[in-house]
Amino acid sequence: MAPPARRPVHTAYVGAHLFQAGSAAEWGKVALQVLADYASDAQTLAAEDIWSRVRDKLEREPIEDLRIDFEDGYGEHTGYEEDATARAAGAEVAAAMALGNLPPFVGLRVKPARAERTLELLLRSILEGSGGTLPAQFVVTLPKVASADEVTALVHVLEGLEARLHLDSKALALELMVETPLAIMGTDGRCPLPEFVAAARGRCRGAHFGVYDYSSALGIAPAQHGLRHPACDHARQVMQVALAGTGVELSAGSTNVLPVPPRENVRRAWQLHYDDVRHSLASGFYHGWDLHPGQLVTRYAAVYTFFGEWLDSAAPGGGVLEDPAASRMRASLLQRAIDCGAVSR
């Protein structure tokens, strides 16, 4: 499976019971209102050009990648309730496709025990509502992976669904959630992530780090949980080394302090999220999760500022001798900056 030409800078997670055809547009509307209420001018948020680009992005394409969440963001429901939610969510995806409201990338996160049934109900509902067409970049996210056998089991599910639903081979991509210590270091002392990717048999598009499950599994007190904790930095560095050169997109994780009123909390949450995003970008993680519409403001402000600073510093001259590998990385980052709207073509 060839990786998509465009790589999103974030994924927005929406509980499956909350997802509607207009969810992406609604996130944009809420984000624009938060921007107007708490950063109505460039002095508050960033430089004038960054503020304008962020506002334009929120109006034009607020969400680049959306995940319909049937796991933690969905909570505990009966099988009957999840069946109904899966059918309804599939119908909403089809409606969004018809309206042109669907983000460029979309998919769902499953509970492993319910993966096959929920996936089949949702996919059938999409296909029925869309005249047999799936979204172009559809991905299934597998949480809390601890063994290659779990990846193999999901691949078998996806192969069976493609056959039953008459989909193209490997039409269904997958992502791995790195949330357990065993995904970083196996019982034999080796990192098993390359085995996980191999078990995906060409379907693995990304590996997303789960800050809070991983921190809890290590026994770190909740008050100390955060994207920049040294334990999380270590885990992400292992991910980078283990998956370097594979083409698997790495994601840094999320910030769970949300920008909700009062004003002091919004500003504090924005600062934390902005700093988390900048930390991830500087570490070579160009993708993260967003859990609230208000985080879109600081997501794009941080990404656009980072790329603007990088492009300024990367300008020719200054006596820097750049090797071919750095030149290739420069071209890749420039394309990502263009794709997300940080710079114009």
Query: pLDDT tens digits, residue range 190-242?
Result: 999 999 999 999 999 999 999 999 999 999 999 999 999 999 999 999 999 99
Give domain status of residue 190, yes or no: yes
Residue 286 lies in a domain: yes
5, part of any domain:
no
Q: How many CA atoms lie within 13 A of 198 on its CB side?
A: 7
Helices 23-38/79-99 angle, 10° precision: 80
Alpha carbons 118 and 35: distance in angstroms, whole number: 36
Instruction: Give residue 327's pLDDT band: very low, low, confident or very high (50, 70, 90).
Output: confident
Give the torsion sign (CA, 5, 11, 17, 18).
negative
CA dihedral 209, 212, 213, 218 (to 10 degrees): 100
Residue 277 lies in a domain: yes
Instruction: Report yes or no on 345 lying in a domain.
Output: no
Query: What is d(CA 178, CA 145) in angstroms, rounded to the nearest whole number?
Result: 6
Residues 305 and 309: their CA atoms lie apart, in Å, by: 6
Residue 210, token pair as written in the block: 């789960």
Q: Which amino acid is at 216?
A: S
| For residues 66-71, average pLDDT | 98
42-51, 95-104, 254-263: which range is least confident on average? 42-51
Assigned domain for 90 exists:
yes
The predicted-structure confidence for 292-310, as pLDDT tens digits, reads as follows 999 999 999 999 999 988 8
Any idea what the CATH number is for the domain that residue 262 is in?
3.20.20.360
* Residue 150 counted as domain residue: yes
CA distance 61 to 291: 17
Q: Give φ, ψ of 100 to 5 degrees.
A: 75, 25
**How many independent structural domains does the chain possess?**
1
Residue 229 within a domain = yes
End-to-end Cα separation, the chain, in angstroms: 28
Question: pTM (2 decimals)?
Answer: 0.94
Instruction: Give residue 158's pLDDT.
Output: 98
Q: What is the domain range of residue 268? A: 10-340
